[in-house]
Chains A and B, each alone.
Chain A
Amino acid sequence: MADQIMLSLKVNGQSHSLQVHPFARLLDVLREDLRFTGTKEGCGEGECGVCSILLNGRLVNSCLVPAVQAQGGEIVTVEGLADGQRLSSLQDAFLTQNGAQCGFCTPGMLLAATDLLQRNPHPDEAAVREGLAGNLCRCTGYVKIVDAVQTAAREAR
C-alpha cells in the first residue's frame, strides 16, 4: 500500500486534507499533524477513554482507528465543544461542579458525556456511570464528574 495517502476529513466542522500514512493512528494525526492536542493519549489500547472522539457521530477511542478509516469522516474533538468563547453546558458544569482535578481525563470525559446526553438527555446516576464506563479518572473518584453531567442535564431542561 502507498506510503502516504491524501486524507480528507472534517474536524469540528472544518475541512482538512493532508498527507498521512494510511496506518497512522487517528489519535496521532489529530495531535501531531492537525495539532488538536486536547485529545490525549493514555493507555494506547482502548482501555482508558482519554483519546475519545466522535467519529461520524459515534464515540470511539481514536488510538484504535487507523487513519485510513477516517477518510471522509466527520470528527468532533474537545476543541469543538465550545461555541467560540462560550462553553458548552457540560464544560460549564465541569467547572462549577469541580468535575476536573488534574484534567487529563477531562477531554475524554466531556466527549463521552456529550455522547451520552445526545442519546439520553436526562440520565439517572446509573446511566451516567454506564455512559462514562469507558473513561478512567484517577483523581476525582467520579462523584464530581457524575454531578457535573447531571447538573448539565438539569440545566438543559
Chain B
Amino acid sequence: MFDICELHEPETLLEAKRIFNADPGLKVIAGGTDVLIRMQHGGLAGAGLLSLRNLHELEEIQLLGDGTLSVGAMAPFAQIFQSELIQKLVPILGEAAVSMGGPQVRNVATIGGNLCNGAVSADSASTLFALDALLKLQTLDSERIIPMKDFYAGPGKVNLLPGELLVAILIPREGYEGMGGHYIKFAPRKAMDIATLGVAALCRIKDNCFQELRIGLGVAAPVPVRCFEAEAYAQGREVTLETVQEIARLALKPAKARSSWRASKEYREHLIEVLAQRAVAEAVKRAGGCCADEK
C-alpha cells in the first residue's frame, strides 16, 4: 500500500492549477516512477499528491509556427523516442530518452517528471542543456519561460514557485537546426541503470569548421552543466583530432565531480574527457564534418 493521504487527479490543466494554487503543499506526481518509489522507501510519508496523468493536453509534441519544438511535460519517454518530429529534428533527445530505464519505465516516466526531480543524472537534462531548451512554467495566474540553467538550484532542487507547474519544454529553432548531435550515457548496465556520467554534444559544421558547438554534462557537478570554455574554443576552428582533443580537455573545466559509490571523482573526470571526445567526434560526423586525421 502506498502511504498517500489524498490524491487529486484533475482532468484539465486549469483545474490542476486551481488545486495546486489552493494547496501548494501537494506533491506533484507525473508518471510516478520516482515519487512512488520514494514513498515505498518511506519518504514523503502521508503526502497529498497532485497527479497530472490525466492532463493529455500536456503530452503533445508539436512544432510551433516559429520553428520552436514544444514537448509537453507529460510526454512519456516512449512517446518521445517514437515521435517522428523528435527523430527528425532532435534525434539526440530520442537517444537520451531511450537510454532511460526499460520499456515499462519509459511507458510511464515523463520528461517533465525527469526534470522536476532535479536529479543530476537525468538523461534528458544534459541533452536539453545542450539544446538551449527553455522551460515553460505556469501558476494559476502567471507564466514564465526560463532557460534550463536557471531551473536547477542544486542536487534534487529546482526553482519552482509555490503552485507552479512545468507545462512544456521549448527547444528554439536555433537550438537544433542544422546541428548534428550525440548523447553518451555511461553506466555499468545498458538498461535500467542510472548514468555514472552523461555527455550530450551538438555541433554545426561548415567547410569542416565548427560554426557552433554545445556540450552538456550530467553527473559532472551538483547540477547539469554546459562546457562554455570548450564551446568558445571550438568556434571557427577546423575539425581536427587535436581540436577535438583540446575541446575534450576543456570540457573538464565546469566539472565539480564527486566521489560516490558509483564512481570516484578521478574516474568521473577521466570519463568526462574520454566521453566528451567521443561524443563530439560522433556529433561532428552526424553534422557532416570529418576529423582531418581520419581522412
A residues apposed to B, CB below 8 Å? 1, 21-25, 28, 44-47, 49, 52, 58-61, 64-66, 68-69, 112, 115-116, 130-136
Q: Is A49 touching B1 in the complex (CB atoms < 8 A)? A: no
Report B-chain residues with C-beta under 8 Å of the C-beta of A136.
Answer: 192
Per the bound structure, the CA–CA distance linking A117 and B9 in Å amounts to 33
Partner of B33 from the list A1, A28, A64, A115 (CB cut-off 8 Å) is A64
Minimum CB distance partner of B191 in chain A: A133
Q: Is B2 touching A61 in the complex (CB atoms < 8 A)? A: no
Q: Which of B30-56 contact A (CB under 8 A)?
A: 32-33, 36-37, 40-41, 51, 53
Q: Is A47 touching B192 in the complex (CB atoms < 8 A)? A: yes
Per the bound structure, the CA–CA distance linking A135 and B105 in Å amounts to 11
B84 to chain A, nearest CB (A): 15
A90 to chain B, nearest CB (A): 16
Residue among A112, A134, A135 with the highest chain B CB neighbour number at 10 A? A134
Per the bound structure, the CA–CA distance linking A136 and B192 in Å amounts to 9
Interface size class of B (residues with CB under 8 A): 20 to 34
Report A-chain residues with C-beta under 8 Å of the C-beta of B190.
Answer: 133
Per the bound structure, the CA–CA distance linking A69 and B8 in Å amounts to 11
Is B57 an interface residue when CB atoms closer than 8 A count as contact? no
Q: Is B1 touching A28 in the complex (CB atoms < 8 A)? A: yes
Partner of A64 from the list B5, B6, B7, B32 (CB cut-off 8 Å) is B32
Given contact pairs A23-B1, A66-B7, A112-B103, A134 touches B192 in the complex (Cβ within 8 A): yes
Partner of A61 from the list B1, B7, B98, B105 (CB cut-off 8 Å) is B105
Per the bound structure, the CA–CA distance linking A66 and B191 in Å amounts to 25
Per the bound structure, the CA–CA distance linking A1 and B41 in Å amounts to 22
Given contact pairs A1-B6, A22-B7, A23-B1, A134 touches B36 in the complex (Cβ within 8 A): no
Report B-chain residues with C-beta under 8 Å of the C-beta of A24.
Answer: 1-2
Q: Is A135 touching B102 in the complex (CB atoms < 8 A)? A: yes
Report A-chain residues with C-beta under 8 Å of the C-beta of B51.
Answer: 69
Is B292 an interface residue when CB atoms closer than 8 A count as contact? no
Given contact pairs A23-B2, A23-B7, A28-B1, A131 touches B37 in the complex (Cβ within 8 A): no
Q: Is A21 touching B40 in the complex (CB atoms < 8 A)? A: no
Report B-chain residues with C-beta under 8 Å of the C-beta of A132.
Answer: 102
Q: Is B4 touching A23 in the complex (CB atoms < 8 A)? A: yes
Residue among A23, A28, A45, A112 with the highest chain B CB neighbour number at 10 A? A23
Minimum CB distance partner of B108 in chain A: A60
Minimum CB distance partner of A1 in chain B: B6
Is B87 an interface residue when CB atoms closer than 8 A count as contact? no
Is B260 an interface residue when CB atoms closer than 8 A count as contact? no
Given contact pairs A21-B1, A66-B7, A69-B53, A133 touches B37 in the complex (Cβ within 8 A): no
